[in-house]
Amino acid sequence: MARHKSSGLSLDFGSGVNDTLGEIKLARLFNNLFTYSKGNPGVAMNAWLSGVQAFDDKVITWKAPAIKDREVLAEIPESWSHLCLQLLLHKRMNLDKIFRTVQLEKGQIISSLAIMNRLQLISVRGNSIYYLNPNVEFLLIEYIREREWI
C-alpha cells in the first residue's frame, strides 16, 4: 500500500469515497482475494486487474470479483471436458496437436473450440494457439481434481 500511495492514485471500492478502508478492512479485502484465488498469485492478479471498473482523474474504481459457481462446469459436454483436460495438461496447443491428443472427429473439435472460445472458457492466440482462459483455469483445475482425472 505504501507503493500505491506513493503513486498519487486513489482507490474507490464502489462507494464513491476514496481510500476510506482502514487497515483491517483492507487486509480483509486482500484476504478475500487470496481465498478467491486459492492462493494462486496469478489468479489473484487477474482478479485484481479484472476488477478495475474505471480510471478517472487519478482515481481507480475497483469492484471485488464475484465468487464463481463451478458447479456449472458439471453441465459442460464430455467432449469439452476432454478438451479442457488436454489444454490443462499441455498449457498451449495448436490444432494439429489437439487433433492428435483428443479422440474426437475434427469437425466436432473445431465446433467445440469455437463455442468454448465464445463462452470464454478458452482463449485463442492468433488463430492457431488454444489455451484455457486464465480467469477460469483455476476453477477447472479444482473441478478436474474433484473428479480425480489428474
Cell of 27: 487486509
Domains in the chain and their CATH numbers? 2-62 (no CATH), 70-146 (1.10.10.10)
Relative orientation angle of helices 41-50 and 23-36, to the nearest 10 degrees: 110
Least confident residue range of 4-18, 89-103, 105-119 = 4-18
Residue 85 CA to residue 121 CA, distance in Å, equals 12
Could you report the per-residue pLDDT of 50-65, keeping only the tens digit for each? 778 887 777 777 777 7
Residue 6 — very low, low, confident or very high, per pLDDT cuts 50/70/90? Answer: low
Q: What is the structure's pLDDT at 11?
A: 67
pLDDT at 78 over 90: no
Mean pLDDT of 68-78: 75
* Geometric angle at alpha carbon 98, from 112 and 141, rounded to 5°: 75
Give the torsion through C-alpha atoms of 95, 101, 107, 108, to 10 deg. Answer: -120
Q: Is the pLDDT of residue 129 over 90?
A: yes
Is residue 46 within 8 A of residue 135, CB to CB? The reply is yes
